[in-house]
Amino acid sequence: MNAPLPERTVRDLTGLLAQAAHAMNTRLSLALAEIDSSPRKHCVLLHAMEAERTQSQLAAIAGLDKTTMVVTADELERDGLAERHPSATDRRVKVIRVTPAGEELVRRGEVIVDRVHGEALGELSAGERQVFVDALDRLQQAAEFPMVGEGGVVRRPRRSRQG
């Protein structure tokens, strides 16, 4: 016999965010497939264009494990979208450099990403959109949220010893 569940006093934020993220990722995956890309490829290429970054740094930004990042970098190289090069600051480390073809794919992808995000936010009134995005941004940046450290280990952010 199942015991009754405790009464919920707060909405299941984790469930809501997970379901919303899954729905958005699905929509974005379908849309980026139009240009033979994916959210993962787009994210890695975009962040590799911003600065010289290693595979490990890009994996952390994109939320990818080491194996998935290697597979992604292999795919990007095979498709002529990126290349691995020795770092300018540490020759032992490889960085991902985006090729002109990769840059063009990112430009096309950004149009699609903006469209998909705009369509999703279109479900809300203009005032709700700003409040929603600002609230998500604050939640994402909140010091209370665990962060992923080296090796994918979840850790808590450092807190100041003051106060």
Strand partners, 96: 84
Does some domain include residue 99?
yes
Q: How far is CA 65 from CA 21, 39, 135, in A?
A: 18, 15, 27
Token pair for residue 138?
A: 């604050």
Band of pLDDT at residue 128, cut at 50, 70 and 90: very high
pLDDT of residue 87: 87
Strand, coil or helix: 6? coil
pLDDT of residue 93: 87
Q: Check residues 5 and 27 and name the one with the higher pLDDT.
A: 27
- CATH code for position 78: 1.10.10.10
Mean predicted lDDT score pLDDT of the chain: 87
Q: Is the pLDDT of residue 58 over 50?
A: yes
The domain in which residue 58 lies consists of: 29-143
Strand partners, 84: 96
Check: CB of residue 29 under 8 Å from CB of residue 39: yes
Q: Is the pLDDT of residue 155 over 60?
A: no
Check: CB of residue 10 under 8 Å from CB of residue 16: no
Among 93, 99, 103, smallest CA distance to 53 is for 93
pLDDT of residue 148: 54
Does some domain include residue 57?
yes
Non-local CB neighbours of 64 within 8 Å, separated by 6+ positions: 40, 44, 58, 72
pLDDT of residue 158: 44
- What does the pLDDT average to over 117-146? 86
Q: How many domains does the chain have?
A: 1
Helix (H) or strand (E) holding 147: strand 147-148
Does some domain include residue 137?
yes
> What's the pLDDT tens digit per position in 23-54?
999 999 999 999 999 999 999 999 999 999 99
Q: Considering only 62-71, 85-94, 126-135, which range has the smallest mean pLDDT? A: 85-94
